Chain A
């Protein structure tokens, strides 16, 4: 009986500690597996989002991954994307729109990606021109993985005299 009580108490202690740790929810993404995902893995746009979600969570797309106050799961924390995964996730999910806009030298997905990368609004035009210029190399990187695309973009920005100075990296 006494032993039982101890076991229960112990369980409660562990549970409450876990609860504390969970309540704190430190903002560090556990690396949700986006880095391994390449665009070529997807047959078409329709399966990209659900597959990413399936790959990174144990539930269906949407209700679990982005579920409000649902705790941590894969790429999200209480339904919001981890800060350090935002850019990669955006690049992966919008790769088809991004390739089109990079070639066209403008667009809302490209502008949003620039914002995520910390490029101020007044330098967006320079960033667009850069992506158009490097189109082929960037798309090749993107076909490998979204992480590679973001890295290639960051490298290109770092080497660009107009952009390098404004992006704090």
Chain B
């Protein structure tokens, strides 16, 4: 039972207010007389508490970082920590001084506290170390307790440096949209080849298995508890690289030994803690930042995130701290690896790989054996990677693919040569080079016979025309966008567009990869329909399709979707219409900073207001800087033409 304190401590806490009053009276009587040191512990405790008050330790940043206090809007503090066992005082969550007094009190006791069931000195090693440093504990009056569990634990890391690990987002799971961050505690004597043996420090929500539909809702509104854990890095690599197909970026942080020790000490304390997990703000990245802040209190990180903490933004923030990040390493996902290896294959070789993947006995055929040894090895390696990828995608046939892989690998082992090293470059550049998460746009243009000015705010994240650097190509996720327009001639100001969510995933298909592309859009647009000019029209649209890429100029992606759509507006008979249709389009990078996106669609609505809809649009973006872009967009609908120029800033 966490949170149950031994009765002696509780009794003492009851006495504390009385002691305070007595002290106050005493202080009134003996203003300048120093408190005489006595042999019993009680006066020494009071002496320490007095010292904390005169030094105002409870107001110090370190104390607030240790207890995760945040200033309230209207004065006072509240800790973000939600496990009562983490606090030594009953009102510790909201009273930094009371918590400090109670912590000092508990240091004199060997009673086991917190979820980790240790004496307070050992359960809260970082608090103890900091207070000892501030107050110069007298070991004869406050006996230090040996913390064997902690010493063994911290030794086991063989810590030499700290690395921030960022698995990039991948499209097929919206929960990964924001990416994730964790810390890796690099070991003494570790090489690039043995990095996976290091422990990570990971903060994650404890989600019961088979949660399903409740997961996003509870995840967003703090329905889960988040805990800190030390999962070996090899398990994390497996999860992201092999199973979820996400590229991983690793950033070495320039922390010295003292800072690493502080980080680990506070991590140990957080074993007694749990936080309500809020997907958007108090998530993995947010709490890791608070750990880094305690390691180096001169870093101010968490207070930069007011409403949400996007892992990529935290990476950008850390990369922007002078001298904090040194080496950056890249770990390709299996798909990235296969696609890069394929660039080294000729057409006939690729065909051979596909045949081996379908029928492993081809791997030992004369056709393969006539090739040079190193070439044979390379083909079999790609085939093995590909079969593993298939096994992950198709769980029902996982055993079949595993057997095929075994046969391919048996043939591979008979070649008796090691595989050659291959430098695998990413398709998406480093996240810290990407634009920031939120976007503001200001612009104007023409619509039919009218002119307008427009301002748009978008909470997140990225659309197909935004500067692609640092983002996964072909992935669009827009959340929480609102556009206000003023039409000059009609002298009307209105909410022109609202986007709740607009997600689009383009996965170019080829002989190896057949994942479909898909899109979902929920929002409101302003339309002109029938007799209704400038009417709000709510849109629910979803589609599934195909994409392919070419390299005529730089890189072009062509796509086509079959889609269904429902509209709700007073412009329609019966106020709604439901139908379906198709759309097609492409984007092309005309230059490094210049992209053009064109789409056309035809939809026919059979339910509600029977009508059809032909739309096409052409948009262009020119990148000015990492967080600045220009756009011109033309949208055509029936008797409705809209031309818009904007300048956009990311923040």
Contacts and interface: CB of A to CB of B under 8 A. Distances in A.
B418 interface: yes
B197 A94 contact: no
B399 A69 contact: no
A121 B230 CA distance: 26
Interface stretch (A99-107, A150-158, A161-169): A99-107
A112 interface: yes
Contacts of A49: 235, 238-239
A81 interface: yes
Q: Binding site of B, secondary structure by majority: helix, strand, loop or mixed?
A: helix
Contact of B409 (A69, A100, A108): A100
A71 B209 contact: no
Interface string A4-23: 00000000000000010011
B381 A104 contact: yes
Nearest to A46: B243
Nearest to A22: B117
A108 B418 contact: no
Contacts of A139: 406, 409
A133 B413 CA distance: 7
Interface in A28-87: 43-46, 49-50, 60, 62-63, 65-71, 78-81
Interface stretch (B128-136, B308-316, B388-396, B552-560): B388-396
Given A60-B208, A63-B229, A70 B116 contact: yes
A109 B237 CA distance: 11
Contacts of B388: 96, 100
Given A68-B270, A70-B271, A103-B409, A109 B235 contact: no
B369 to A, nearest CB: 17
A104 B418 contact: yes
B3 to A, nearest CB: 16
Given A23-B149, A60-B206, A93-B234, A111 B194 contact: yes
Interface in A117-163: 121, 124-125, 128-129, 132-133, 135-136, 139
A45 B227 contact: no
A23 B206 CA distance: 26
B145 to A, nearest CB: 9
Contacts of A115: 194, 197
B230 A109 contact: no
A105 B238 contact: no
B268 to A, nearest CB: 6
A112 B196 contact: yes
Contact of B234 (A106, A109, A124, A133): A109
B381 A69 contact: no
B118 interface: yes
B234 A94 contact: yes
A65 B647 CA distance: 51
11 contacts: A45-B238, A67-B229, A68-B230, A68-B268, A68-B271, A70-B115, A78-B149, A96-B402, A105-B413, A132-B413, A136-B413
Given A60-B209, A135-B410, 19 more contacts: A25-B149, A44-B402, A46-B395, A49-B239, A63-B227, A66-B202, A66-B230, A67-B228, A68-B229, A69-B149, A79-B230, A81-B232, A93-B238, A94-B238, A102-B413, A103-B413, A109-B196, A112-B197, A125-B418
